[in-house]
Structure 1
Amino acid sequence: MKVRFWGVRGSIASPGPHTVRYGGNTTCIEIRTDNNELIILDAGTGIFPLSQTLLAKMPITANVLITHSHWDHIQGLPFFIPNFIPGNTLRLHGGFDPVSGKGIEQVMSVQLQYSYFPVREEEMKGRIEYVTLSPGEPVQVGSATVTPCLLNHPVVDFGYRIDCNGKSVFFTGDHEPPYNIYDPQDEGYTAYQSLVDEKNRAIVEAIRGVDVLIADTSYTAEEYPAKKGWGHGTFATSIELAQQAGVQVLFCTHHEPTRSDDALESAFAKALSQHGAPQHGLDIRLAREGDTYEF
C-alpha cells in the first residue's frame, strides 16, 4: 500500500511562509492499494491538488471516505476536478447524521446550494454515488476492506481501518480520547468511567496491529486543558494509543493552524523526549504535505 499526504493542517487552511515546509492545506490523504485502487481519506482543501494529478489517467473511480462533516474535512469536494468530466466516478462514503436525519449525501448537497457554489450537482458531468456507512460494519472497496469505527468528536466521526493483502492503515480523523464528564465525587462518576474505559478499549482493538496509524495530534499536553471538549487529541494521547494498539508507524497530523513549522517541530521534539516512544519500537513521524510512505 502507498500513503500520500495532500493536506495535514487542522481546522482552517493556513498557507504562508511559516507553514511552507509541512503545508497549509486541510486534511486529505491518498491511499493506493497494491492493485492501484484509489481511496481518499477526507476531502479538505488538499483534495484539489490531488485531483489535478488524476487528470493524466482517466477515467478514474475515486472512493472518498469522509470522517465527519466539519468544513475542514469536506470543503475541497466541490473542487474535485474529475467531477466535471464525463466518465469519472466519485463514490462518497460516510456516516448518517442523526441531527439532520440524512446520509452522507448531505455533504455535497449543502455545499452545492446555489448561494454558496455556482455549479449544481446535476450539472456535474461525472457520476457521484453515495454510500452511508454504519460503525463496525466493514465494506469492500476493490481489494480493500474498510471498517468504520465511531470515535469521539462533537459530531458523528468515523475512524477508518483499511486492510488489504495483509497490510493495514488506520486514520482517526478528528479524535479526542473519551473522558469522564463527572468529577470523582459525583454520584455518576464510577458508572460513567466504566463506559469510558469500555469505549477506549474498543478503539484500541479497532486499531490493534495496524502497520500505519495516522492520528489527530492537534495539541500539546500543556495546551489541552484549555481545549478540552473540542474533539482533538494531543501528541501524548496519540503516542499512547499507538503503543497500546501495537502499531508500527504513527503519523501525527491535523497540525494546529496557528503553529508555524518551527513551532510544530519544537512541539514534536518535546513530545518525543517526554514519552520515550522509540524505546517501544514505535516509529513516529510528523505528517508533511507531499510526503509518501509505501509498505
Structure 2
Amino acid sequence: MKARIWGSRGSLPVALTHRHIRAKLVAALEGAIGRNLDSSEKIAHYVDYELGFDVRSTFGGNSSCVEVEVWDPDTSNEHVLLDLGSGVRPFGNAMMARYGAGKPQTYHVFMSHLHWDHIMGFPFFTPAYIPGNRIVIHGCHDTLETALRRQQEPISFPVSFDQLGATIEFDIMKPGVPVEINGLRVTAKLQLHHGDSYGYRLEHNGRSMVYSTDSEHKLDQPEERENFVRFFRDADLVIFDAMYSLADAVSVKADWGHSSNVVGVDLCQAARAKRLCLFHHEPIFEDARIASVLAETRRYAEITGEAPLEIVSAYDGMEIDI
C-alpha cells in the first residue's frame, strides 16, 4: 500500500501569501551567503539538501484528502480515498491526466465526517462529471447523501448534484463491522467530535494503516484510550489529527474535537505502531511553525519511547510507502 496526501490542512484551505514567499526567499538568500553557489548543480544541492523543508517548500494548503494506493494502478481501475476536502480537486485532475475520460474508474471514498472542510472538494472533483465512472461513498453517517447534495443546491453552487455524470452510490457502514473490497479490509471506529467522526483502519496483504482525524482524546477516559490503542495496534502507519498543542487541547480548545502531537505519540507508542504522520494542520500555522511542531514531536518521542517511532508531518504531495 501507499498513502498520498492531497490535502493536509484542517478546518479550511489556506494559501501562501506574498509575505510568506518573501520570508522564504530572504531566508534562502541569507543562508546562501558565503557558499559560492556558482553553478546550477551547487544551487540545486543547496536547495534540496541544505535548506529546511519549511524554507524550500510548503506543507500545503488543501483540506483533508488522502489517497490510498492499494492495487496496481496499471492493472486495476479501483481507487481508495479518505475524505473529500479541497485536496480531492488536484487528485481528480491527476486521475484525468492519467486515465482521461475514456477509461471508466471506480472510486471508493471513506468519509470521516461531514463537516464542510471534509466535503468541500467534491463539487470540483472532475471524475464525478464523467459518465461511466463509479463513486462509492462509504461512511457511518446516515446523512451522507444529504450533506453532499445540499452543498450543490442552487443557492450554494451552480451545478446540481443530479447533473453529475458518474454513478454515485452511498454505503452506510457500522462501526466495528469491516467492509471488504477486493482483499482490502476497512473497519470504522467512532471518535469524539461534534456530530461524530469515524477513524478507519485499512488492512491489505499483511500491511495496515489507520486514518484518525477530527478526534478528541480526553485524558480522564482511560477505557477509551485503550480502545484506540487496540485500533492502532501494530499499524504500519497512523495518520493522526495533531491540530493543537497538548496545552491547547486540554484547556482553551477543549471540546473542539481535535487532538495533539503528544497524544498521537503516546497512542502510537502504546500500540507499537511503526510510523506516525501528523495531519490536519492548524490553518493559522505557517510552515516554520509546523516544522517546529514536527521537531518537538520527534524529541518527545525519543525521550518517552522504548521502541523507535518514525514521525513525519503531512504535506500536500507527500507519498508514504506502507
What aligned pairs does 1:137-286 form with structure 2 within 5 A after superposition?
Answer: 137-180=177-220, 196-224=221-249, 225-276=251-302, 279-286=306-313
The C-alpha deviation readout for 1:139-190, integer Å capped at 9, x for no partner, is: 112320110011111122110000011111100021111344xxxxxxxxxx
Matched position secondary structure for 2:150: helix
Q: 1-side partners of 2:136 and 2:174: how far apart?
A: 16
- The question of whether the paired residues in 2 share the 8 Å contact of 1:151 and 1:203 is answered with no
Would you say how many aligned residue pairs link Structure 1 and Structure 2? 275
Q: Are the counterparts in 2 of residues 63 and 141 from structure 1 also a CA contact under 8 Å?
A: no
Identity of aligned residues (%): 32
Q: Distance in 2 between matches of 1:64 and 1:237?
A: 27
CA contact (8 A) 1:249 1:282 kept: yes
Segment drifting more, 17-26 vs 150-159: 17-26
Report the more deviating stretch, 32-41 or 210-219.
32-41
Question: Which position in structure 1 is the counterpart of 2:66?
Answer: 29
Aligned counterparts of 1:42 and 1:12: Cα–Cα separation in 2: 14
Deviation at 1:278, TM superposition (A): 6.5
- When structure 1 is superposed on structure 2, of 114-123 and 21-30 the one drifting more is 114-123
Contact 2:127 2:133 in 1 (8 A): yes
Equivalence for 1:16: 16
For 2:143 and 2:252, locate their aligned partners in 1 and report how far apart those are by CA, in whole Å. 33
Separation in 2, partners of 1:271, 1:239: 8
Counterpart residue type for residue 60 of structure 2:
G
Q: Would you say the 8 A contact 1:42–1:74 is kept in 2?
A: yes
Cα deviation 1:211-257 (Å, max 9, x = unaligned): 11000000112332211110111110001111111100110010110
Counterpart for residue 151 of structure 2: 111
SS at match of 1:149: strand
CA deviation after TM superposition for structure 1 residue 275, in Å: 3.9
CA distance in structure 1 between the aligned counterparts of 2:321 and 2:294, rounded to whole angstroms: 23
Partner residue of 1:193?
Answer: none
Letter in 2 for 1:52: N
With normalisation by structure 2, the TM-score equals: 0.82
Query: The residue matched to 1:92 in structure 2 has which SS?
Result: strand
In structure 2, what is the equivalent of residue 122 of structure 1? 162
1:54–1:60 CA contact under 8 A, matched in 2: no
Aligned to 1:7: 7
Distance in 2 (CA, whole Å) between partners of 1:278 and 1:197 is 19
Equivalent position to 2:139, from 94, 103, 120: 94
Retained in 2: the 8 A contact 1:8–1:26?
yes
Which structure shows the higher helix fraction?
Answer: 2
Gaps of 5+ in 1: 97-101, 181-195
Shift of 1:109: 1.5
Q: Contact (CA 8 Å) 1:33, 1:143: kept in 2 or not?
A: no
Q: Give the match for residue 73 of structure 1.
A: 118
Deviates more, 1:59-68 or 1:199-208: 199-208
Q: TM-score, normalised by structure 1?
A: 0.89
CA contact (8 A) 1:215 1:250 kept: yes
The answer to whether the 8 Å contact 2:301/2:309 transfers is no
Q: 1:263 aligns to what SS in structure 2? A: helix
The 8 Å contact of residues 8 and 28 in structure 1, kept in 2 or not, is answered as yes
Secondary structure class of the residue paired with 1:258: coil
Residue matched to 1:183: none
User: Over aligned residues, Cα RMSD in angstroms?
Assistant: 1.6
